[in-house]
């Protein structure tokens, strides 16, 4: 937990989002909680950090792990 306080917020949340979509299946609870609770400005910083940190876009990873209206809603949240 101490590391979470020392880590810049965009880096922390980008990492949480990546882990929620890594591997088999998606941790939908974490994905939704992060994307719906952050202020828009911070969410855009997280989106930019995600690409810088992982070399792929948050949108592409969301689109690859979700589908239908759920996917469209999540993509709308980050744009």
Integer Cα distance of 40 and 10 in angstroms: 12
Tens of pLDDT along 31-49? 999 999 999 999 999 999 9
**Mean pLDDT across 42-62:** 98
Please name the residue ranges forming H helices in 7-67: 9-21, 28-37, 40-54, 58-65
Other beta carbons within 10 Å of 13: 22
pLDDT 10s digits, 16-26: 999 999 988 89
pTM given for the model: 0.90
């Amino acid at each position: 937990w101490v590391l979470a306080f020392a880590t810049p917020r965009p880096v922390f949340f980008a990492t949480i989002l990546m882990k929620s979509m890594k591997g088999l299946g998606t941790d939908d609870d974490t994905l939704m909680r992060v994307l719906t609770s952050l202020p828009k400005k911070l969410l855009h910083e997280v989106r930019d950090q995600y690409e810088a940190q992982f070399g792929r876009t948050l949108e592409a990873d969301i689109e690859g792990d979700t589908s239908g209206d759920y996917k469209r809603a999540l993509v709308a949240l980050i744009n």
